[in-house]
Amino acid sequence: MPIEGWHGWDDYAPFYDWENARTVGRRDVPFWRALAVEVGGPALELGCGTGRIACPVAADVDRLVGIDRSAPMLARLRRRRSRRGLGSRLHLIRGDIRFLPFAPSSFQLVMAPYGVLQSLLCDRDLRETLRAVRTVLRPGGHFAIDLVPDLKNWREYEQRVSMRGRRRGSQTQVTLVETVRQDPDRRLTHFDQEFVERRDWRSTTHRFSLSFRTLSVRQMAARLRRAGFAVRSVAGDYQGAAWHPDAETWVVVAT
């Protein structure tokens, strides 16, 4: 079976929050909250995952819908949603972002945080998703995209211990052993992950792979235009700094 960008996320779910607390953290959350306040709802988050963005943003709009293909990621988000009492504001749907199951012009804002469009591994998948977003977005509505640009520049390495730490509130020690492979012809970066959990004298290893496709800003902008969007801004960080090729993140807002 060919690799698909949605592969691997079910197995990653138990480790996603643990790893992201050590990487992106909540750095991008104020940007998404401010945008949601400015643009207003109803809003849709593509690839809402465990709710890192969805939960804080749900407090800022009258209605937020999150869609994700991974049942284990959504299960975590459901638990977080009920802990925070967000049940009536945050609606969750298990589905694929290439085929959005919503009526035309349903949303004022569509958010694609933290490289979710990079989980679309070929042009056809990106084209289908952009078309689907165009359809569900209201005229004049905003489509905001955060891309992780440096993936294609990562050095390849094999079986490196890239992170280690305790699970919050438990004695379990987690180690991430990672292999990075690049496929420049297809603009793909593959992460082969091994999460090793140790508790007492027992150890369990969870293995899976995640793949991402990284386009340049110019290529992404061209695809947005072809799908009927106008690119309004491209920033190089979450505070709105000017974009440059080495920027740590690329934040594109289109209408």
Ligand X SMILES: C[S@@+](CC[C@H](N)C(=O)[O-])C[C@H]1O[C@@H](n2cnc3c(N)ncnc32)[C@H](O)[C@@H]1O
Smallest distance from ligand X to CB 24, Å? 8
Smallest distance from ligand X to CB 151, Å? 12
Q: What is the DSSP code string of 188-209?
A: EEEEEEEEEEEETTEEEEEEEE
Nearer to ligand X, 27 or 226 (CB): 27
Smallest distance from ligand X to CB 2, Å? 14
Binding interface with ligand X (CB under 6 A): 5-6, 9, 47-49, 52-53, 68-70, 73, 96-98, 113-116, 119
Nearer to ligand X, 30 or 242 (CB): 30
Nearer to ligand X, 29 or 173 (CB): 29
For 192, the token pair is 């082969």
Cis preceding-peptide flag for 42 (omega within 30 of 0): yes
Smallest distance from ligand X to CB 191, Å? 12
Nearest-angstrom CA–CA distance, 208 and 210: 7
Nearer to ligand X, 73 or 251 (CB): 73
Nearest-angstrom CA–CA distance, 198 and 204: 7
Adjacency order of strands within the sheet including 64-68: 90-94, 64-68, 43-46, 107-112, 137-147, 250-254, 231-235
Amino acid at 196: V
Nearer to ligand X, 70 or 108 (CB): 70
Smallest distance from ligand X to CB 61, Å? 15
For 135, the token pair is 């359809």
Pairing of strands 90-94, 107-112: unpaired
